[in-house]
Amino acid sequence: MTSRRVLTMAVLLSMDAASQAQRPWELLGEAEVNGQVDHDVIEVKNAGTFRTIQIRVKGGVLNFLRVTVHFTTGKDREVEMVAIIPDGGQTRAIDLPGNKRKIRTVESWYAKAGWSKGPALALFGQR
């Protein structure tokens, strides 16, 4: 690959990252973790299509194993998400494939823990 192509690709990637950083995050739904089960479902309240999602954790540490995005088309996207998210932290931004990205629900799978009051999950999306 020529140095000119590499430079062009680097510029395009940085422009895409800058445009993603400028798009606001919208709250799509919330769920409370109770510690008795190993997953929760967040119902999406916000209509429209989204390019990227992120789950934020508040009120405790959560050990994520995977996330499954259920689209209104009936298709699913399973994302391996092996990460320990601290109180006040968030998952990495999860890019969604295709053009029809209307989300029905998002399921989060995590390791169970003995919380007296489980953490709260908040699902955010970028258009």
CA distances from 86 to 5, 23, 31 (A): 40, 24, 17
Spatial strand order of the sheet with 76-85 comes to: 39-43, 103-110, 62-71, 76-85
pLDDT tens, N- to C-terminus, the chain (127 residues): 554 544 444 444 444 444 456 889 999 999 998 777 788 999 998 888 999 999 999 998 899 999 999 999 999 999 988 999 999 999 999 999 887 789 999 999 998 766 777 899 999 999 9
This prediction's pTM: 0.79
* Domains by residue range for the chain, with CATH: 25-126 (2.60.120.260)
- Residue type at 60? G
Look at residues 84, 94, 15, 86 and name the one whose alpha carbon lies nearest to residue 54: 94
